[in-house]
């Protein structure tokens, strides 16, 4: 369940993470009144469950209430990566002295969570990781221990964040635990000239398995404005559509996030986030491949799997069976590592599909997938 930004900031506020005053509307006329209540100037932000709103023109500054009404009218109804804008959020502008990135994400492969943080927030974290990987800290979090003040201090120090962010890091973890989240992200978390720490933008993904505990978000929450995301959700897949050309499938959110970073570092753009979780049966692989291949922007597909409870030979058998039901129209690069990796590679070698290639390392697989996408 991906929440809208205004829903994510509601959770932040409930857990004591400061956010700027804001209101949501689907009416341009009402946007004028909201801007007036916010003091005149307002940031008008499209409410869609996808990234890249700013680049698409879905985030704009309005100088006065009249401009807020006009801006809301222009943004409402926009199409952003297949998502139709049905509402906008108007927020009070904030003077910014520094911007940071912080998130917690489920890492199924490691059996825990991963804290990802950087002192270079406000931009795509993939771009930062590609250009300056040392600027992005990745700290494992034991779910049994959680994020204490000491752990938050460790994360802040590793990422180069100021001590004032420690409280926000602790409270962000509380959001994840209390709200059954798989991902909580703030980009940017900002420091004002007065030294205040505020969350200006947020993303929260809740666990579908805990939907019975999250009924307050209503039946609309699981739905997606993107047809591919809706199709994936109907198949029970954890899929987020991005704006690149390399389809990515992996087992474990942390592994998939790392794969996205490596693909970006090879000069290509990931087309999606798709976590098949701990199991990679033929049905799961077929469903995943069918969704990824249905994206016309995809030029190549990278499957990156670390065998754990589900061994690599089982994953490979799933891929082979999936190829019987899914017409492979794009080149597929497979990297298998971990439990029974050699057996898994042998299974794919025996199948010898002309569009399937193998790589032994994640870097090598990403480079090849990026090259195939570029040459397509």
Is 101 marked active-site? Answer: yes
Nearest to 244 by CA among 101, 376, 152: 376
The helix or strand, by DSSP H or E, that contains position 24, with its residue range, turns out to be strand 22-25
CB-based contact 174:18 (threshold 8 Å): no
Sign (positive/negative) of CA torsion 159, 361, 331, 310?
negative
Residue 88 to residues 27, 194, 216, 233, 240, Cα–Cα distance (Å): 9, 28, 20, 24, 21
- Tell me which of 23, 126, 185, 317 is the catalytic residue: 185
b/e sequence 133-142, b meaning 16+ C-beta within 10 Å? eebbbbbebe
Nearest to 25 by CA among 60, 64, 75: 75
Sign (positive/negative) of CA torsion 217, 54, 27, 30?
positive
Residue 222 to residues 100, 283, 344, 374, Cα–Cα distance (Å): 29, 22, 35, 34
- Tell me which of 101, 120, 179, 245 is the catalytic residue: 101
Measure CA of the first residue to CA of the last residue in the chain; give whole Å: 34
Residues tagged active-site: 101, 185
């Amino acid at each position: 369940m991906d929440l809208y930004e205004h829903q994510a900031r509601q959770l932040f506020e409930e857990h004591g993470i400061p956010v700027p005053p804001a209101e949501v509307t689907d009416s341009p006329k009402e946007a004028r009144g909201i801007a007036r209540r916010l003091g005149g100037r307002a940031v008008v932000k499209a409410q869609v469950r996808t990234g890249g709103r700013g680049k698409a023109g879905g985030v704009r500054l309005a100088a006065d209430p009249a401009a807020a009404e006009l801006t809301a009218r222009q943004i409402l109804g926009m199409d952003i990566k297949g998502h139709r804008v049905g509402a906008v959020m108007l927020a009070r502008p904030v003077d910014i002295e520094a911007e940071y990135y912080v998130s917690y994400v489920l890492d199924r492969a490691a059996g825990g969570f991963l804290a990802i943080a950087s002192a270079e927030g406000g931009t795509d974290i993939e771009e930062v990781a590609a250009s300056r990987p040392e600027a992005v800290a990745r700290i494992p979090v034991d779910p049994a221990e959680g994020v204490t003040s000491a752990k938050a201090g460790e994360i802040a120090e590793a990422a180069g964040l100021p001590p004032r962010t420690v409280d926000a890091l602790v409270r962000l973890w509380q959001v994840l635990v209390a709200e059954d989240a798989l991902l909580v992200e703030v980009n940017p978390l900002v420091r004002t000239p007065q030294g205040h720490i505020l969350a200006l933008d947020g993303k929260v993904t809740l666990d579908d398995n805990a939907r019975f505990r999250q009924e307050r978000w209503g039946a609309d929450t699981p739905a997606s404005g993107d047809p591919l995301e809706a199709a994936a959700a109907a198949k029970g897949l954890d899929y987020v559509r991005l704006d690149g050309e390399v389809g990515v499938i992996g087992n474990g959110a942390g592994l998939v996030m790392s794969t996205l970073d490596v693909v970006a570092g090879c000069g290509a753009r990931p087309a999606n986030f798709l976590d098949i979780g701990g199991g990679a049966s033929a049905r799961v692989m077929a469903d995943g491949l069918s969704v990824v291949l249905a994206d016309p922007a995809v030029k190549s597909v990278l499957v990156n799997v670390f065998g754990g409870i589900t061994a690599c030979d089982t994953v490979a058998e799933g891929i082979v069976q999936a190829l019987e039901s899914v017409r492979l129209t794009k080149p597929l690069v497979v990297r298998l590592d971990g439990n029974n990796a050699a057996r898994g590679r042998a299974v794919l070698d025996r199948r010898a599909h002309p569009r399937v290639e193998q790589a032994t390392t994640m870097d090598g697989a990403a480079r090849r997938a990026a090259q195939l996408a570029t040459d397509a």
